[in-house]
């Protein structure tokens, strides 16, 4: 986790904002992740752009659900990834998830914006496991863990 980057994210108008935790939005983001996984399974293998995009959003929505559960809003994807690193260090989300998210974001950008047509490897079992692990973490995080994460973010940004 890069403290300077987190501080930068907090200064941006669409960057990190601490809000009230929102169980309903967390649930909706998890549902979006699951729906996106279903969409991913219908995409033809010839479309590396859409495979990359939907794979990334399966993961992104899962992680963003945790941010909503904690009460953190962030509309900048790089900042969301930095927050994922922070949550890994706190033991709130599984280690390595931020790296997966970061790599798949790069593939999405390469295929979606630069039309690189890089082949995308989809392992449905691993992707389903990613979503389920995040869902379990969202549903099992304690109030103490939420307050600790919020307190640490406040400490970092002040």
Per-residue pLDDT reduced to its tens digit, 61-102:
999 999 999 999 999 999 999 999 999 999 999 999 999 999
Cα distances (angstroms) measured from residue 40 to each of 56, 62, 89, 130, 142: 10, 15, 30, 14, 32
| 1 pLDDT tier (thresholds 50, 70, 90) | confident
CA-wise closest residue to 107 among 121, 95, 88: 121
Q: Is 114 a residue whose pLDDT tops 90?
A: yes
Per-residue pLDDT reduced to its tens digit, 20-29:
999 999 999 9
3-state SS, 18-61, equals ECCCCHHHHHHHHHHHHHHHHHHCCCCCCCHHHHHHHHHHHHHH
Q: Is 45 a residue whose pLDDT tops 90?
A: no
CATH numeric code, 3-157: 1.20.120.330
Distance CA 102, CA 155 (A): 25
| 118 pLDDT tier (thresholds 50, 70, 90) | very high
Extents of the domains making up the chain: 3-157
Write 142-151 long-range contacts (CB < 8 A, 24+).
145/90, 145/92, 146/21, 146/69, 146/70, 146/71, 148/90, 149/70, 149/72, 149/86, 149/87, 149/90, 149/92, 150/18, 150/70, 150/71, 150/72
% of the chain exceeding 70 in pLDDT: 100
Q: Say what the pLDDT of residue 156 is.
A: 87
Q: Is 117 a residue whose pLDDT tops 90?
A: yes
Q: Is 158 a residue whose pLDDT tops 90?
A: no
The residue-averaged pLDDT of 35-62 equals 94
**Whether this model's pTM surpasses 0.85:** yes
> What mean pLDDT value characterizes the chain?
96
């Amino acid at each position: 986790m890069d403290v300077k980057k987190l501080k930068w994210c907090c200064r941006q108008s669409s960057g990190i904002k601490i809000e009230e935790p929102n169980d309903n939005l967390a649930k909706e983001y998890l549902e979006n992740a699951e729906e996106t996984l279903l969409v991913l399974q219908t995409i033809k293998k010839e479309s590396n752009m859409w495979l990359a995009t939907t794979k990334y959003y399966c993961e992104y929505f899962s992680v963003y659900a945790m941010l909503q559960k904690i009460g953190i809003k962030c509309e900048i994807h790089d900042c969301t990834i930095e927050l994922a690193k922070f949550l890994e260090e706190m033991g709130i989300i599984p280690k390595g998830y931020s790296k997966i998210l970061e790599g798949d974001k790069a593939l999405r950008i390469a295929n979606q914006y630069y039309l690189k047509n890089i082949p995308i490897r989809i392992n449905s079992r691993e992707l389903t496991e990613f979503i389920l692990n995040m869902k379990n973490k969202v549903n099992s995080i304690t109030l103490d863990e939420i307050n600790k994460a919020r307190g640490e973010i406040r400490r970092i940004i002040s």
